[in-house]
A and B are shown apart, each in its own frame.
Chain A
Amino acid sequence: MTGLYLAGAFMISGLLFFNRNRAINYLLVTGFLALQIGFTVYEYLHINKTELFYFTADGLAVLLLIPLCIISIPAMYHSYVFLSKNQENARHRAIYFAAMVMLLTAISATYLANHIAVTWIFVELTTLSASALIYHRRNNRSLEGTWKYVFVCAISITLVFIGILFLSFTLKQEGTDDLSFAVLLKKAPELNLFWLKLAFIFIFTGFTAKMGLVPMYTAGIDAKDKAPSPAGALLSSVLLNVGFVGIFRFYIIIANSPIHSWAGHVILIAAILSIFVATVYMTKVKNIKRMFAYSSIEHMGIVMLGIVAGGVGYYGAVLHIVLHAFLKSSLFFQMGQIYRIYKSKSIYDVGNYFKYNLTGSVVMLLGFFFATAMPPSGLFISEFMIFRGLFASNYLLILIIVILLLTVILWAFGKNIFKLLFSPAIDFREEGMEHIKPVESLSQFVLLGLVVYLGLTPPMQFVTLIQEAIKNLPH
Chain B
Amino acid sequence: MINVLLIIFAISLLYLGIANRLLTYIKILAIQGILLFGIAFIELIQINAVNLAFVLLETIVFKTLAIPLFLNYVMKRNRITRDAEPFLPNFISLIIITMIIIATFILSNAIMDSRISKIFFVVALSTLFTGLYIIVTRTKIMTHVIGYLVIENGVFILSLAVGNEMPMLVNLGILLDIFASVFILGIFVNRIGDVLKDVDVDQLKNLRD
B-contact bits for A164-181, CB 8 A (1 contact / 0 none)? 110011001100010000
Our pick among B155, B188, B206 for the contact of A165 (Cβ within 8 Å) is: B155
Q: A434 CB to closest chain B CB, in angstroms?
A: 26
Q: In the bound complex, do residue B206 and residue A141 qualify as a contact, i.e. CB atoms below 8 Å apart?
A: yes
Q: In the bound complex, do residue A148 and residue B176 qualify as a contact, i.e. CB atoms below 8 Å apart?
A: no
Query: Given the complex of chains A and B, what is the CA–CA distance between A360 and B180 in angstroms?
Result: 41
* Of A146, A155, A290, most B-chain CB atoms within 10 Å: A155
Chain A residues near B183 (CB-CB < 8 A): 128, 150
Chain A residues near B161 (CB-CB < 8 A): 165, 169
Q: In the bound complex, do residue B155 and residue A161 qualify as a contact, i.e. CB atoms below 8 Å apart?
A: yes
Query: Given the complex of chains A and B, what is the CA–CA distance between A153 and B173 in angstroms?
Result: 15
Our pick among A141, A158, A168, A290 for the contact of B166 (Cβ within 8 Å) is: A168
Chain A interface category by residue count: 35 or more
Q: In the bound complex, do residue B176 and residue A151 qualify as a contact, i.e. CB atoms below 8 Å apart?
A: no
Our pick among B165, B166, B180 for the contact of A154 (Cβ within 8 Å) is: B180
B82 within 8 A of partner (CB): no
Q: A417 CB to closest chain B CB, in angstroms?
A: 17
Chain A residues near B192 (CB-CB < 8 A): 143, 147
Q: In the bound complex, do residue B169 and residue A165 qualify as a contact, i.e. CB atoms below 8 Å apart?
A: yes
Chain B residues near A144 (CB-CB < 8 A): 204-207
Given contacts A147-B188, A154-B184, whether A117 and B168 have CB atoms under 8 Å apart is yes
Q: In the bound complex, do residue B116 and residue A169 qualify as a contact, i.e. CB atoms below 8 Å apart?
A: yes
Chain B residues near A172 (CB-CB < 8 A): 115, 162, 165-166
A44 within 8 A of partner (CB): no
Q: In the bound complex, do residue A158 and residue B196 qualify as a contact, i.e. CB atoms below 8 Å apart?
A: no
Query: Given the complex of chains A and B, what is the CA–CA distance between A151 and B144 in angstroms?
Result: 9
Query: Given the complex of chains A and B, what is the CA–CA distance between A364 and B32 in angstroms?
Result: 55
How many pairs, one residue from A and one from B, have CB atoms within 8 Å of each other in the complex?
102
Chain B residues near A26 (CB-CB < 8 A): none
B151 within 8 A of partner (CB): yes
Q: B122 CB to closest chain A CB, in angstroms?
A: 15
Q: In the bound complex, do residue A121 and residue B196 qualify as a contact, i.e. CB atoms below 8 Å apart?
A: no
Query: Given the complex of chains A and B, what is the CA–CA distance between A155 and B166 in angstroms?
Result: 23
Our pick among A117, A154, A290 for the contact of B148 (Cβ within 8 Å) is: A154
Chain B residues near A192 (CB-CB < 8 A): 113
A-contact bits for B165-202, CB 8 A (1 contact / 0 none)? 11011001101100110011000100110011000000
Interface size on B, residues (CB 8 A): 38
Given contacts A155-B151, A161-B155, whether A140 and B195 have CB atoms under 8 Å apart is yes
Q: From A71-79, A233-241, A280-288, A455-463, give the one contacting chain B.
A: A280-288
Q: B103 CB to closest chain A CB, in angstroms?
A: 15
Q: In the bound complex, do residue A285 and residue B209 qualify as a contact, i.e. CB atoms below 8 Å apart?
A: yes
B-contact bits for A254-298, CB 8 A (1 contact / 0 none)? 000000000000000000000000000100111100100000000
Our pick among B116, B151, B168 for the contact of A158 (Cβ within 8 Å) is: B151
Q: In the bound complex, do residue A141 and residue B207 qualify as a contact, i.e. CB atoms below 8 Å apart?
A: yes
Q: In the bound complex, do residue B196 and residue A140 qualify as a contact, i.e. CB atoms below 8 Å apart?
A: yes
Q: In the bound complex, do residue B166 and residue A177 qualify as a contact, i.e. CB atoms below 8 Å apart?
A: yes
B111 within 8 A of partner (CB): yes
A440 within 8 A of partner (CB): no
B8 within 8 A of partner (CB): no
B59 within 8 A of partner (CB): no
Query: Given the complex of chains A and B, what is the CA–CA distance between A272 and B176 in angstroms?
Result: 32
Chain A residues near B195 (CB-CB < 8 A): 138-140, 143
| Residues of B109-162 whose CB lies within 8 A of A | 111, 113, 115-116, 128, 141, 144, 148, 151-152, 155, 158-159, 161-162
Q: Which residues of A contact B (CB under 8 A)?
A: 117, 120-121, 124, 128, 138-141, 143-148, 150-151, 154-155, 157-158, 161-162, 164-165, 168-169, 172-173, 177, 192, 194-195, 222, 225-226, 281, 284-287, 290
- 16 further interface pairs, Cβ-Cβ under 8 Å (given A141-B206, A222-B207): A139-B195, A140-B196, A143-B195, A147-B141, A147-B188, A147-B192, A150-B183, A154-B148, A161-B159, A162-B158, A165-B169, A168-B162, A195-B113, A284-B209, A287-B209, A290-B209
**Can you give 28 A-B contacts (C-beta < 8 A)?**
A117-B172, A124-B175, A128-B179, A143-B192, A144-B204, A144-B207, A147-B188, A147-B192, A147-B204, A150-B184, A158-B152, A161-B159, A161-B176, A162-B128, A165-B155, A165-B158, A165-B169, A168-B165, A168-B166, A169-B116, A172-B162, A172-B165, A172-B166, A173-B115, A194-B113, A195-B113, A226-B207, A287-B209
